[in-house]
């Protein structure tokens, strides 16, 4: 991979990801309500928002239950990030969970889904729902999702690092096939270089994933099949390095390592791609949970996430190229010393 153009692209993409990914504000949303249950009759609550601008314009507020809306009878702004609202809750709401909505021209629609347990269920309200604003907010913001909140930015680091690891392990797999086919020692060095760099990105993926789990799931590590599968994968490839160090004969070492690497690649696919999809998992995209692409990866996140994947993969290939060249120079130096 001669030339610097693709390396320059890698640096430019990652600079863009760091600057835009960390400086872009999260979109406004509702994060808390002062009560968690509503019953037929009067109900007063205080709602708390994040990155909202209620002082600029008093928002509309309403409850939504099974598609029917109950507008607030009175709304009082407390601060930029909070307001008080009064409701007359009718009897007979159909769903046992009710969402809280707000809208103003600056922030657009805001929602705290399933904010309240609902009492006095029945066949629904008599009459029509109230009319509310629905125009979207303007500007470039990242989606503000419950639980994830500001940690959604880790999407630009954690996920691309695992993609990069898998690209490098695929290179190692292919080079191992070349070793068995041709016996070329250069292919063995390339396979080793790819595994070395892939383990670096695997370690970064585990670290960023552990930090993310602590922020969203409340613990540094959970007994999750995706997490456990990733850890087992790292151990399997670490054993590949141990195997190489235990065989002194270079030709035998190359063939044994190639065979092991092929099986390691297959196990990596099983532990990280197959098993998590067949069992219960907290991880997005596994165990019945929707992936980011299905509900969180909107146009603003895509504008940073896709460049992040390309930038990290190119950086991984750059590191692999350097490691491969270092291994070749070391091999030539060893040949000179043996003469």
Residues 301-326: tens digit of each pLDDT: 899 999 999 999 999 999 999 999 99
CA–CA distance, 9 with 310 (Å, rounded to integer): 9
Task: Supply the pTM of this predicted model.
Answer: 0.85
Are 72 and 202 in the same domain? no
Mean pLDDT of 71-89: 94
Decide: 162 and 154 in contact? Cβ < 8 Å. Answer: no
Decide: 327 and 193 in contact? Cβ < 8 Å. Answer: yes
The tokens of 99 are what? 């969402």
Are 205 and 111 in the same domain? no
pLDDT at res. 278: 76
Are 274 and 172 in the same domain? yes
pLDDT at res. 295: 45
pLDDT at res. 103: 93
Q: Work out the mean pLDDT of the chain and round it to a whole number.
A: 88
pLDDT at res. 176: 96
Q: Is the pLDDT of residue 246 over 80?
A: yes
Q: At what angle do helices 250-269 and 225-246 cross, to 10 degrees?
A: 170
Are 113 and 252 in the same domain? no
Q: At what angle do helices 250-269 and 185-216 cross, to 10 degrees?
A: 30
Are 322 and 177 in the same domain? yes
Contacts of 27 (CB under 8 A, 6+ apart): 51, 137, 141, 142, 143, 144
Pairing, β 60-65 against β 37-38? unpaired
- Map residue 105 onto helix, strand or coil: coil
Among residues 95, 118, 141, the one where a domain terminates is: 118
**Domain with 318 in it:** 149-338
- Map residue 319 onto helix, strand or coil: helix
- Map residue 95 onto helix, strand or coil: coil
Mean pLDDT of 243-272: 92
Mean pLDDT of 22-30: 91
Mean pLDDT of 200-205: 95
Q: Which pLDDT band, with edges at 50, 70 and 90, does 29 fall under?
A: very high
Lowest mean pLDDT of 31-40, 67-76, 269-278, 280-289, name the range. 280-289
Beta-carbon neighbour count of residue 118 at 10 Å?
A: 20
CA–CA distance, 328 with 322 (Å, rounded to integer): 10
Are 50 and 156 in the same domain? no
Does residue 250 or residue 171 have the better pLDDT? 171
CATH number of residue 93's parent domain: 2.60.40
Distance between start and end Cα atoms, the chain: 31
Does residue 148 or residue 193 have the better pLDDT? 193
Q: Which pLDDT band, with edges at 50, 70 and 90, does 47 fall under?
A: very high
Are 103 and 181 in the same domain? no
By C-alpha distance, which of 283, 276, 205 is closest to 237? Answer: 205
Are 312 and 239 in the same domain? yes
Spacing of C-alpha 85 from chain mean position: 35
Q: Is the pLDDT of residue 6 over 80?
A: yes
Are 296 and 228 in the same domain? yes
Q: Is residue 221 part of a domain?
A: yes
Q: Is residue 132 part of a domain?
A: no
pLDDT at res. 228: 87
Q: Is the pLDDT of residue 222 over 90?
A: no
Does residue 156 or residue 146 have the better pLDDT? 156
pLDDT at res. 297: 61
Are 296 and 189 in the same domain? yes
Work out the angle at residue 52's Cα, subtended by the Cα atoms of residues 147 and 282, and round it to the nearest 5 degrees.
10
Q: Is residue 75 part of a domain?
A: yes
Q: Which pLDDT band, with edges at 50, 70 and 90, does 147 fall under?
A: confident
Kindly give the residue spans of alpha helices, DSSP state H, lying in the chain.
Answer: 5-23, 158-182, 185-216, 225-246, 250-269, 275-278, 292-295, 299-338
Are 165 and 291 in the same domain? yes
- Map residue 168 onto helix, strand or coil: helix
Chain segment 88-110, per-residue pLDDT in tens:
998 888 899 999 999 998 899 99
pLDDT at res. 294: 44
Chain segment 262-297, per-residue pLDDT in tens:
999 999 999 888 887 777 666 665 544 555 554 456
Q: How many domains does the chain have?
A: 2
Walk across the sheet containing 108-118 and list its strands: 37-38, 108-118, 97-104, 60-65, 68-71
pLDDT at res. 258: 95
Decide: 126 and 71 in contact? Cβ < 8 Å. Answer: no
Q: Is residue 141 part of a domain?
A: no
Q: Is residue 283 part of a domain?
A: yes
pLDDT at res. 72: 93
Cα–Cα distances in angstroms (integers) from residue 337 to residues 9, 324, 328, 332, in the given order:
39, 20, 14, 9
Q: Is residue 238 part of a domain?
A: yes
Q: Is residue 235 part of a domain?
A: yes
CA–CA distance, 280 with 271 (Å, rounded to integer): 14
Burial class (CB in 10 A: 0-12, 13-18, 19+), 220: exposed
Does residue 262 or residue 224 have the better pLDDT? 262
What is the DSSP secondary-structure string of 253-278?
HHHHHHHHHHHHHHHHHIIIIIHHHH
Walk across the sheet containing 41-50 and list its strands: 29-33, 41-50, 82-89, 74-79
Q: Is residue 140 part of a domain?
A: no
Are 206 and 95 in the same domain? no
pLDDT at res. 166: 95
CA–CA distance, 320 with 191 (Å, rounded to integer): 10
pLDDT at res. 123: 77
């Amino acid at each position: 991979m001669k030339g610097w153009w693709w390396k320059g692209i890698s640096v430019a993409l990652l600079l863009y990801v760091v600057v835009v990914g960390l400086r872009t504000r999260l979109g406004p949303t509702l994060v808390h309500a002062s009560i968690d249950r509503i019953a037929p009759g009067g109900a007063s609550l205080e709602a708390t928002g994040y990155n909202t601008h209620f002082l600029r314009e008093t928002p509309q507020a309403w409850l939504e239950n099974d598609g029917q809306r109950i507008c607030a009878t009175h709304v009082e702004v407390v601060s930029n990030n909070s307001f008080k609202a009064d409701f007359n809750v009718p009897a007979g709401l159909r769903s046992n969970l009710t969402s809280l909505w707000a809208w103003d021209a600056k922030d657009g629609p805001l929602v705290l889904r399933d904010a309240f347990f609902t009492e006095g269920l029945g066949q629904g309200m008599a009459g029509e729902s109230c009319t509310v604003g629905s125009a979207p907010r303007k500007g470039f913001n990242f989606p503000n999702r419950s639980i994830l909140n500001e940690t959604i930015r880790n999407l630009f680091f954690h996920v691309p690092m695992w993609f990069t690891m898998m690209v490098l392990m695929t290179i190692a797999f292919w080079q191992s096939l070349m070793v068995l086919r041709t016996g070329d020692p250069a292919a063995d060095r390339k396979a080793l270089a790819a595994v070395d760099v892939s383990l670096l990105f695997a370690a970064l993926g585990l670290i960023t994933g552990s930090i993310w789990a602590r922020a969203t799931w409340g613990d540094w590590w959970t007994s999750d099949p995706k997490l456990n599968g990733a850890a087992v994968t790292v151990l399997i490839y670490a054993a590949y390095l141990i195997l190489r160090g235990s065989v002194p004969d270079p030709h035998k070492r190359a063939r044994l390592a190639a065979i092991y690497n092929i099986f390691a690649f297959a196990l990596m696919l099983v532990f990280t791609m197959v098993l998590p999809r067949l069992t219960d998992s907290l991880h997005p995209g596994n165990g019945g949970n929707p992936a980011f692409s299905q509900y969180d990866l909107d146009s603003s996140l895509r504008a940073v996430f896709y460049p992040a994947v390309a930038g990290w993969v190119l950086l991984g290939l750059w590191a692999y190229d350097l490691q491969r060249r270092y291994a070749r120079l070391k091999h030539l130096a060893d040949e000179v010393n043996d003469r």
